[in-house]
Structure 1
C-alpha cells in the first residue's frame, strides 16, 4: 500500500519521480534559520566571491547545478572547505535543460522538468529551515550585507515576512576595474518563509514566487549586495532572445542592462552618466574592493561621483 504522506506535492509531467517536488514542511516542523538556494550554471568564475559571505550570513547553502561545463560544483565544494563550511553546503544536480526566460519559458508547461517553475520548486524543496533566500550564482553580499542577513536569521523567528534586498549591477572588466550601475536599483524580494503560500508559479517571461497577503514587507538599505556581470561572458544566455525583452514594460530592467553591458564592452563608459568606474588598489580584486571597502565607505544615498574611490 502506498503511503500517502510520501506522495509528491508536484509530480513531474514526464514522470521523472526523482524530480517530483516533496516539501520538507509537509513532513514536520522546519528548523530555525535561513537557507540560501542557488540555481547555477557555469558560475565557477563568480562562486569564490559569492559563497563566503553567504556562509557568514546563513545557516545552510544549497547549490543546484544545471548542466555546468566549467566545474561549478567542484568550485562550490572547494570554496566551502576553504571557509570551514563544508558541512553547511549541499550540492545537487538538476540534469534537464531548463527553458530560457521569454518565449521559450512561455511555451513550456509549468510541471515539466524543463520549466523554470518546476526547476525552482524542486530546488527549494531541499530547504529544511523556516526561511529561504532566492539567491543567484552571481550575487555578492557586502561586508554589511552579510552582517545584516545574519541578524535577520534570528530577528525573523517570531514573524512572517518577505524581505527585499536592493542590488546594483557590477560590470567587471578585469581583476582591477569594474563599473557600478547606480542608475537602476533592483529591489525584488529575495528572502521568504517556507510553506504552501510561498511556492513558485508561472508568470509571463519567468517564474514568480507567490506571497501570502499576511506577510510583512521589509526593504533593506541599498549598498548591501551587487550582481556581477562579467564583460567577457554571455550575460544574457538565460533569455531566449533579446527580442523577448525589447518592448515589454515588465522587462525594462533587462533592456537597461543590455544597453549598459554592450556600451561598456565597446569601451564607451564615459558616455554613461549612471555608472561609476571603480579601480581597485594593486593586489586587491575589484570585487573584493567594492564589497569590502568601496560600498561600505560610500555616502548614502548612493550616487555617482565620477571618481574611482569614495
Structure 2
C-alpha cells in the first residue's frame, strides 16, 4: 500500500521515478506472494522460543499454565508458527488465531480439558488480535489499552495474554503466566533463517533489476514450485493487486476445533525456517551495520 501511494504521489508531481516494492513484513499477510521476506526468520524465532518455554515450564512439578502472545492483528501467520514447535513435540497444546472467532467459554473449556489431561501443564499461544463474536478485541476485556491508536489509526494491541492468564488463574486456581514476545519476534537476527535471508537478498536484487530496466508500479513476489522439494521463484505483480489486500491463513489449514494447525501449514512453513544465518560477531556480541540516513531531494 505504501509503495502504491508513493508511486501515485510521484506521478502526480511529474517526478520520474520507478517504484518496485519488496514485500517485507514478518506478518506474512500480503496478497499475491507465497510468503514475505522476514516471515521465515520470525517464524523460526517464535517456534524456537516456544519450545524453550515448553521445556522450562516442565522443569517444575507444580501446575502452571503459560499463555504466549504473538503479533498478528487480523492474520495469524506468526502465531501459527508455534505449531512448528508442537510438530517437534515441544509446543502449545492450544493455538488461537484471529481467523477464528474467539469464545471465552469455549476457551476455558478447552483449557480445562488439557489441564486435567496433562496434570496441570498447559501451553497456549494466542494472536494479539483475537476478537469475540461482537468484534471486540480480547485485550479490551482487561484494560483501556485499545482506546489508544497507533500511527495508522489502529487500536493499540497488547495485553491479550495477560487478560487470559488472569482469567485462567481465577478459574483454575493455579499459577498462570503471560508471556509477550513483543518486539523480539521481529528483531532477533541471531535466530534468522538462512533460507529467508537468501530469498530476501534475491528479492532486493530483483527489485533493482526491474527498476533500472524501466518497470514501475510493481512488487517482487515469491512463487513456490509445486514439487516435493522446496524451490522459490521470483516474479512481479502489479501494486494494485497488493494494495489494501490481506492474506489470511486458509480455514482448511486450521483444525476443526479452531485450536491448532493442520499438516498443510507445517508443510508450508517448515521449508521457510531452514538453515542458520548469524550476524558477524565481535567479542561475543553481534556487529550490526550503521547506516547514514540521507534525505532524498525532490
Q: TM-score, normalised by structure 2?
A: 0.23
Q: Which has the higher contact order (CA 8 A, sep 6+)?
A: 2
Question: Whose helix proportion is higher, 1 or 2?
Answer: 2
- Higher Cα radius of gyration: 2
Question: Whose strand proportion is higher, 1 or 2?
Answer: 1
Q: TM-score, normalised by structure 1?
A: 0.22
